[in-house]
Structure 1
Amino acid sequence: MKPLNSSTLVDAHVHMQRCFTWSHFFHSAYRNFQKSALSLTKDFSAVLLLSEVAGVQYFRDLLALSDKDQAGQTKLLGDWQVFKTEESCSLEVRRAQGESLFMIAGRQIVTQEKLEVLALLSDAQFKDGLALSQVVEEIRAAGAVPVVPWGVGKWLGQRGALLSKFIETGPNNVFLGDNGGRPTFWKHSAHFKLAQDKGLLVLPGSDPLPLSSEVERVGSYGFHLPQKLSSRQPAAELKNHLFAKPKSLTAYGNLQSPLAFFKNQVSIRLR
């Protein structure tokens, strides 16, 4: 691949878990972004799209922390410092050494049918328990980006059939999500092919599990764009790019090995 003058790397499915520390979270994310950017460019923007479940407000906590001076932030963030942008839904996190990350708010909603839907690039709040079509419509009405993410077993059986029908008959400004936790032996779901045939994009993300080791995966799987984002309105710029319907998005990162996948599945069930 020809090197780019600049690039933006986006992990489109990120959770801050209670077993993570912010310092470890940011260090891991930046290290993974930097590693993935080596083959692209030295000049890159790094973006984490949060997906927070009901009752979780880590983005709001970071936003409040941005009003404190560096000394007031050090206890929670270590050698990182958080700064506001011109948007209520985005923040920039920096180190004195020059590393920088954008954190952009978003929610994860569980539908009536027990499918997950992400509302990305927005600080709007949404209710669980509504029908898939209604959830997606509310996300679109709020100006957020609706994504139905892949998850282990969640697109099988009746839920899989429902999703197929939704892809075929639903709105065009909706996305599917791939997951870096998908094991190498688990081939692409047929739903991705349906989406491709309709012109819908797939947004990849790391989707770290609530296991302490999973903090190492933040930023490790996503997509990249051939230009940097501004520090003023990164969410608006990224949203405009996605809604402009590029023909495809170039993914970066690797899927999980079978051993890591099965180890994580056992660990989750033994918690």
Structure 2
Amino acid sequence: MMMLTETARDNAFDALATGRLAPSGWTIDRIEDDPAALRARCAAGGAGLVLIAGRQIQTCEGVEVLALASAGHFEDGLSIRTVLADLQDRQIPAVLPWGVGKWLGKRGALVAELIRADAPGLMLGDNAGRPWIWPRPAIFAKALRDGVPILPGSDPLPLPGAEAGLGAFGCLIDAPLDEARPAHALGEHLFTLRGQPRRIGARRGFRAVIAEQIGLRRRKAQPSPAGTVS
């Protein structure tokens, strides 16, 4: 299974579902009873993959929230407490993802405060862009002590070639899965998850991460062509 967390300006899941986006060598089928899931099959080898919809929400405090296993659309720019309350009311799993420099100062203190609230369905997110030689963030240590789940993911940056790292870092969740409603079943399980799922794969090396961060900052510094948004 692969979980998407698209920004408000991205709609790849919808494009795949409607056929506007057709990956070469793959067939994409909707799952009738689950609008947040698609089934992909490789024509050559018959391998299967379930794609799960999700969204990345930007809050006014500058802390990202990932809404998992949901095909809904969410408003950016609201307070993080408003966003989390909305997701909790709808029983949508929420993840606060780690990122380079994103949990420093006031934002780090806010994340630590939010996980102390022990909100249902709230998790932290780790990713392959945190090199294995870096020390574990203090917030992760607290989450481990308190039973707050930390979900790992590959989380590739928007750089050429980064898609090669998809699925290289993730987790194994031991739970029954309804094949007729896989996104719904996964969302229900994650919303009530306590403790740490088994981590699989590996993070990227220090040099690779530094090169990615330099490439990302160069990309952001480049002026966008007229009529586009970078």
Match of 2:4 in 1: 50
Deviation of 1:166 after TM superposition, in Å, equals 1.2
- Unaligned 5+ residue runs, structure 1? 1-46, 67-72
Aligned residues of 1:92 and 1:231 also touching (Cα < 8 A): no
Match runs of 1:86-235 below 5 Å: 86-96=33-43, 97-226=45-174, 229-235=177-183
- Superposed structure 1 runs of 4+ greater than 6 Å apart: none
Structure 1 residue 170 displacement after superposition: 4.8
1:170-212 deviation per Cα after TM superposition (whole angstroms, max 9, x unaligned): 5132010001111122221111122223221011111111111
TM-score normalised over the length of structure 2: 0.88
Kindly provide the CA deviation profile for residues 90-149 of structure 1, in whole angstroms up to 9, marking residues without a partner as x: 001002322111111111011111001000100111111111111111122233211000
Residue of structure 1 equivalent to 2:224: none
Please, which runs of 5 or more residues in structure 2 have no aligned partner? Answer: 220-230
The C-alpha deviation readout for 1:210-262, integer Å capped at 9, x for no partner, is 11111111111110124674431111221232234243200011111111011
Q: Which one-letter code corresponds to 1:50 in the other structure?
A: L
Aligned-residue offset at 1:55? 1.7
**Does structure 2 conserve the Cα–Cα contact (< 8 Å) formed by 1:180 and 1:205?**
yes
Q: Please give the TM-score of this superposition, normalised by the length of structure 1.
A: 0.76
Please tell me whether the aligned partners of residues 122 and 143 of structure 1 are also in contact (alpha carbons under 8 angstroms): no
User: What is the count of residue pairs matched by the alignment?
Assistant: 217
Quick one: structure 1 residues 58 and 226, their matched pair in 2 at CA, closer, same or farther if it must change by over 3 Å? same
Q: Which fold has the larger relative contact order, with Cα–Cα distance below 8 Å and residues 6 or more apart in sequence?
A: 1
- Contact 2:120–2:192 (Cα < 8 Å) also in 1: no
Identity %: 37
Aligned partner letter, 1:61: A
Tell me the residue number matched to 2:26: 80
